[in-house]
Amino acid sequence: MNSFTFTQAPAVDAAVQESVAHDGAAYIGGGTNLIDLMKENVARPTHLIGLKKLGLDAIETLPDGGLRLGALATNADTAWHPEVEKRYPLLSQAILAGASPQLRNMATDGGNLMQRTRCYYFYDLATPCNKREPGSGCSAIGGYNRIHAILGTSEQCIATHPSDMCVALAALEATVRVSGPHGERTIPFEDFHRLPGTTPHLDNTLMPGELITGLDLPAQGFEKHFSYLKLRDRTSYAFALVSVAAALELDGNTITAARLALGGVAHKPWRDQAAEALLVGQPATVDTFRRAAAKVVEGAQGYGSNDFKIELARRAIVRALKQAAEMNQELDSNAFLNSNP
């Protein structure tokens, strides 16, 4: 680790000012990603700004029926908050599918959004990596890329965003609340993370000095029909190879609302609204789910070791939608079986 100084910021304004005043300053939430990267010398902040005293750890109901998650609420407290468990169980399930109990007790909701890719070359200072060192090249293209992206990649970077929580937040249409040197603003979740393009060193659209203060969830929680399906090399404590957040509203067997987002496949949580549109108004059958799945992987591209992810994603989408539809439903299960080819 490099040398740095540390301050515990007393308030949001003070934290932002500290950040503007110090070249190379970084906010620190739980530290589970930043300290790891500092130990590897991938991150080399000169000044750390602690956020624990900002009073941003509350989870509160909003007047419009939504829920506000403070940026410093821990992943564990969020997943096990009674309102989240009851009204946004998809979010609960996604958080609990990630990391370990110890890490979830430390990790903050703001920090989770900001966690960096797990691309092995990004972590290895001895190899070229455009994300770590712009212009140096991408070692994953033509290298080992089993965990890498199949959608929205560029010739400069094929890294994935590793979060589980963010896949659920994308499906639930959360809003990110931000405070910065130029005041406050909100960012729709869809616009928060970005694709690599020619500037893969930028993971998201946060501006320098900006601090995430919270996340707002809209009232619609899809608590009746949802699934977070995470596929990985072992069934616990591993990052997703492919994950799917599926959420449905059903009227009888007809889909009246649908959300579909994927993790482990792109530089950002991959929500596909065109695929969602193919679900709405249709009967909840495997045939319908297959059409949506085909739409999602339409433009997918493998890079060798990760080719398997395309078929894996397609099947995972069908299964997650099926799990979501079958929840809380007095099912005519034959409707599903009969539509199998």
Partner 1 sequence: MSPVTQVPAERPPVALAPTQPITLHINGQDHFLTIAPWTTLLDALREYLALTGTKQGCDHGQCGACTVLVDGKRINSCLSLAVMQEGADIQTIEGLGTEENLHPLQQAFIDHDAFQCGYCTPGQICSAQGLINEGKAKTEDEVRELMSGNICRCGAYSNILTAIMEVLGNKEDGAEVSNAPMPKQEWSAGAARAEMGPVEPAK
Ligand X SMILES: Cc1cc2nc3c(=O)[nH]c(=O)nc-3n(C[C@H](O)[C@H](O)[C@H](O)COP(=O)(O)OP(=O)(O)OC[C@H]3O[C@@H](n4cnc5c(N)ncnc54)[C@H](O)[C@@H]3O)c2cc1C
Interacting residues toward ligand SF4 by CB under 6 A: 117, 119, 121-122, 129-131, 138-140, 157-159, 200
Nearer Cβ to ligand X (24/281): 24
Q: Does 78 bind ligand X (CB under 6 A)?
A: no
> φ, ψ for residue 278 (rounded to 5)?
-70, -15
Nearer Cβ to ligand X (210/279): 210
Rounded least distance, CB 262 to ligand X, Å: 14
Residues near partner 1, by CB under 8 A: 1-6, 8, 28, 30-32, 35-36, 38-39, 48, 50, 52, 76, 80, 85, 89, 92-93, 96-97, 99-103, 105-106, 227-231, 235-237, 243, 311, 314-315, 318-320, 322-323, 327, 341
Rounded least distance, CB 293 to ligand X, Å: 23
Rounded least distance, CB 81 to ligand SF4, Å: 33
47: which 2 tokens?
């000044």
Give the other-Cβ count within 10 Å of 321's Cβ. 30
Nearer Cβ to partner 1 (52/68): 52
Residues whose CB falls within 8 Å of the CB of residue 165, separated by 6 or more in sequence, listed in order: 75, 78, 91, 94, 95, 98, 109, 112, 113
Helices vs. strands in the chain: H and E counts, helices first? 14, 12
d(CA 24, CA 5): 11
Nearer Cβ to partner 1 (141/321): 321
271: which 2 tokens?
């929500």
Contacting ligand X (CB under 6 A), which of 16, 26, 248, 312?
26
d(CA 313, CA 265): 8
Rounded least distance, CB 235 to ligand X, Å: 12
- Please calculate the CA angle 180-186-188 and round it to the nearest 5 degrees: 135
- Please calculate the CA angle 91-95-96 and round it to the nearest 5 degrees: 115
Q: Does 266 bind ligand X (CB under 6 A)?
A: no
d(CA 94, CA 97): 5
96's enclosing H/E stretch is helix 89-96
Q: Does 91 bind ligand X (CB under 6 A)?
A: no
Q: Does 335 bind ligand X (CB under 6 A)?
A: no
Q: Does 92 bind ligand X (CB under 6 A)?
A: no
Give the other-Cβ count within 10 Å of 240's Cβ. 26
Rounded least distance, CB 137 to partner 1, Å: 26
Contacting ligand X (CB under 6 A), which of 9, 71, 147, 157?
71
Interacting positions 177-236 with ligand X (CB under 6 A): 211-212
- Of 229, 203, 233, 228, the closest CA to residue 308 belongs to 233
Rounded least distance, CB 38 to ligand SF4, Å: 18
Residue 160 binding target from ligand SF4, ligand X, partner 1, none, CB below 5 to 8 Å by type = none
Buried/exposed 139-177: b ≥16 CB within 10 Å, e otherwise: bbbebebebbbbbbbbebbbbbbbbbbbbbbbbbbbbbb
Binding interface with ligand X (CB under 6 A) = 26-34, 36, 51, 71, 75, 98-99, 103, 106-108, 110-112, 114-115, 162-165, 211-212, 239
